[in-house]
Amino acid sequence: MNFIKALTFCALLFSVPATYAQSVNFVEPKDGATVTSPFKVVFAVTGMTIAPAGEMRDNTGHHHLLINAQDVPEGTVIPMDDTHKHFGKGQTETELSLPPGKYKLTMQFGNGAHQSYGPKLSKSITVTVQ
């Protein structure tokens, strides 16, 4: 009887799709880092698949880097200007040149139409450029 219970448990366990927490993170630089310009910025995403701009599939998107910019609410198109950098080809890193000062960098994941996924897929750090 224990064998049948174990077999039933395994069947249930493996029939439920695995879900992963969706999040973004900065691999580099670390929060509070002091850097010299230009410096490398490396993005990471968990629970989503990176896809180029224009592709509209569930659980896909690409990175955007906001520099001293306000958060972009979920569903809102992320602006394209000097403070909102788009990585619509699916890039996961960049080299950033900024003048000396303290900066808030926000990584915002957005869908194929550049619409923000909101705070659940956003992460901010502070860096000081010397």
CB atoms within 10 A of CB 128: 13
Which pTM value belongs to this model? Answer: 0.83
Task: Give yes or no for a contact between 74 and 122, defined as CB atoms under 8 angstroms apart.
Answer: no
Q: Which two tokens stand for residue 20?
A: 């992963």
pLDDT by residue, tens only, the chain of 130 residues: 565 554 444 444 444 444 569 999 999 999 999 999 999 999 999 999 999 999 999 999 999 999 999 999 999 999 999 999 999 999 999 999 999 999 999 999 999 999 999 999 999 999 999 9
Distance between CA 24 and CA 43 in Å, rounded? 7
Tokens 């900024």, residue? 98
